[in-house]
Structure 1
Amino acid sequence: MKTSISNEEFYAGLQQLPKPKYPFPDSMHPDFQQQREEYYDWIDREYIFHSKEAREKHKKHNLTDIASRGCPSLKTFAELRPLASYAANGAMMDDYWDTCTHSEMMEISKRIMLLLTGEDTNEPTDNGIFHQFWVLRQDCLTCEMPERLYKKFIKSLNEVLIGYADERVYYRTNTIPPLAVYLLIREATSGAQPFCKYVAMQKEYRQLPDDVLEHSHIQRLHTLCAMMIGIHNDIISLPKELHREGDTMNLVKVLQQEHKTSINEAYMMALELHDNYLKEFLLLQENLPSFDKWQNMVYDYVQDLGIMVAGVYAWHTNDTTRYVNGGYVDAEFITQGE
């Protein structure tokens, strides 16, 4: 693996290419700074298994801002805390277990889900990642998240974890997947589906009944959100992933392989796919099915899904530490697998 490169090599001319754009307002939860302070504190308390260098890098990334920007209209700090925990702990665990095997990731996922469902009620005393997921459940109970919304949230979170396991197969063999496989896995590993479920915690959306939230039209909008976030993450992280072996789950790399084309041409194909998803999102927003008395609230909910996508992208573009040369955190987990 090539670990020492110049800034010129790192950016490889990609900075001049066009970037995603969203027609949604950008705002931030008023308690973002308080949430950052909690984040810094639990990194030092929970992540002592990480090197000091890794912990300090994570602090600079301000990963809880993903939640503060993605769901800026949550009414209380208590409601922000579970989503911020998922956003930060999810990203950090993905970094830490980057080189584990599929079977190792599946075992990790099973333990996390036992904690999130409450089947395992024992507070973990070991690895801080597991303890943070136990805390996440307690925080959801504390903020009185409706049980039906919580079940949707952790079901989608389980799909993220399964996606993490599935992509390890490609990471460990340094193999770029076919486009069809990439699209399936990336919908999960973008991490956006749990955010889509959590958007219903804002304003009065928790009043929306299940037959609205689970309507195929709404579910398609969730998929589009997940794909837009997955692609814009791939675009932002491309310089890093061009220079690290194993970083194969990137749409630009997938399209380059699929079409036997240059990186720049593949980049433009990826951006076109992203923009087509955005066009579909806007079309579906303007052509909602009949939801009777919920019609206006559903339209506003979909608008806040768009704000969520734009907010996650705003974190990417405002962060200047995670995807820069030397800014990312390398995996420190020692795998036992082959």
Structure 2
Amino acid sequence: MLKTISDEEFYAGLLDLPKPSYPFPDFIHPDFQQQREEYYDWIDREYTLHSKEAREKHKLHHLTDIAARGCPFLSTLAELRPLANYAANGAMMDDYWDRCSRNEMNEIGKHITALLTGEDANEPLDNGIFHQFWLLRQDAITCEMPERLYKRFVASIRNVFVGYAEEKVYYKANVPPPLAVYLIIREDTSGALPFCKYLAMQKDYRQLPDDILEHPHILRLHTLCALMIGIHNDFISLPKELHREGDTMNLVKVVQHEYKIPIREAYMKALEIHDNFLKEFMLLHEYLPPFGKWRDMVYNYVQDLGISVAGVYAWHTNDKSRYTNGGYVDGEFVSRD
């Protein structure tokens, strides 16, 4: 993307198009500012692999606010910290390894998964992305996250890396995938499924039994959250991705390519897809299975899933730096493949 491009050219007449909206209130964790301060410190201490310009841009993005808005009812900063680590570190690693190959991303994902599961219990000697994921595990232990919830959280993070690897094929070819393939990949690369799993740490939801948290009805709701977040991220990032070669994993570009239609028409069709997912979410919330004594708690849990979607979108709409003209961090890793 050319850094000298004008704002008028950058936004390409897209600012007047309708935006997603959600029927859920907006909250933020009371310790969000303290979590931001820790985030600034992470960047200064851990991210020397990034250029100074990239580090300063990341500070402006307030990436830990995604966690603070996505799970605003966590009891303590200690409980917020693992999710904030995942949200911020996951986004920064996605930026840094933006142009690595599918094979390289698969190897990176395996390494990080070993650190998260404890299969590799050794603290990485160098600071940076791997060390932060090792710290995530330590923070989860410190806040006494139940092992069954942690395992689901880690499994969902592992799938994010799988999605990152699969999208590299379409980046390299500079072609959008078919819509059906996009939906499979975007469910994971939205990064939202780990939020859905971690949300069980809020309130009393950790009491919910496994057969409810893993019920097909609930898992479909998780999928819908992930797709809505992935799609509304596509809307926010569209101006940037229209001006960068290889940024093909965007629903608007996928729809435009698949149906051979103009960009504004593709945007409106993509918004319709998003809104249909929202309608399905609301319907599934209303028609929950008969979960007996857990029904009210499950109903509130699903309500908080909706609040999480709205919270992540609120971060996107409050952000004034990450997806703006010249604000995005370009990948600095040089692929060997």
TM-score range, shorter-chain basis? over 0.9
Structure 2 CA distance for aligned equivalents of residues 133 and 274 of structure 1: 32
Residue equivalent to 2:30: 30
Residue equivalent to 1:227: 227
Structure 1 CA distance for aligned equivalents of residues 325 and 275 of structure 2: 27
Residue equivalent to 1:287: 287
Q: Per-residue displacement from partner, 1:91-111 (whole Å, max 9, x unpaired)?
A: 000000000000000110010
The answer as to 2:240 corresponding to 1:202 is: no
- 1:1-338, aligned counterparts within 5 Å? 2-126=2-126, 128-337=128-337
Structure 2 CA distance for aligned equivalents of residues 113 and 206 of structure 1: 23
Q: Per-residue displacement from partner, 1:134-182 (whole Å, max 9, x unpaired)?
A: 0000000000000000000000100000000000111122111111111
Q: Tell me, which stretches of 5 or more residues in structure 2 are unaligned?
A: none
The answer as to whether partners of 1:252 and 1:263 remain within 8 angstroms in 2 is yes
Structure 2 CA distance for aligned equivalents of residues 173 and 125 of structure 1: 36
Q: Per-residue displacement from partner, 1:231-265 (whole Å, max 9, x unpaired)?
A: 00000000000000010000000000111100000
| Bigger mean CA deviation after superposition, 154-163 or 120-129 | 120-129
Structure 2 CA distance for aligned equivalents of residues 105 and 306 of structure 1: 31
Structure 1 CA distance for aligned equivalents of residues 219 and 89 of structure 2: 25
Q: Per-residue displacement from partner, 1:9-63 (whole Å, max 9, x unpaired)?
A: 1101111000000000001000000000000001000001110000000000000
Q: Tell me, which stretches of 5 or more residues in structure 1 are unaligned?
A: none
User: TM-score, normalization: structure 2?
Assistant: 0.99
User: TM-score, normalization: structure 1?
Assistant: 0.99
Identity of aligned residues (%): 76
Structure 2 CA distance for aligned equivalents of residues 134 and 335 of structure 1: 24
3-state SS, counterpart of residue 15 of structure 2: helix
Structure 2 CA distance for aligned equivalents of residues 39 and 9 of structure 1: 33
Deviation for aligned residue 1:4: 3.2
Structure 2 residue identity aligned to 1:219: L
Q: Per-residue displacement from partner, 1:196-245 (whole Å, max 9, x unpaired)?
A: 00110000000000000000000000000000000000000000000000
The answer as to whether partners of 1:3 and 1:244 remain within 8 angstroms in 2 is no
Structure 1 CA distance for aligned equivalents of residues 334 and 126 of structure 2: 16
Deviation for aligned residue 1:126: 2.4
Structure 2 residue identity aligned to 1:264: R
3-state SS, counterpart of residue 329 of structure 1: coil
Structure 2 CA distance for aligned equivalents of residues 125 and 310 of structure 1: 38
Structure 1 residue identity aligned to 2:104: E
Structure 2 CA distance for aligned equivalents of residues 4 and 163 of structure 1: 32
Structure 2 residue identity aligned to 1:143: C
The answer as to whether partners of 2:45 and 2:127 remain within 8 angstroms in 1 is no
The answer as to whether partners of 1:70 and 1:307 remain within 8 angstroms in 2 is yes
The alignment yields a C-alpha RMSD, in angstroms, of: 0.7
Structure 2 CA distance for aligned equivalents of residues 160 and 83 of structure 1: 14
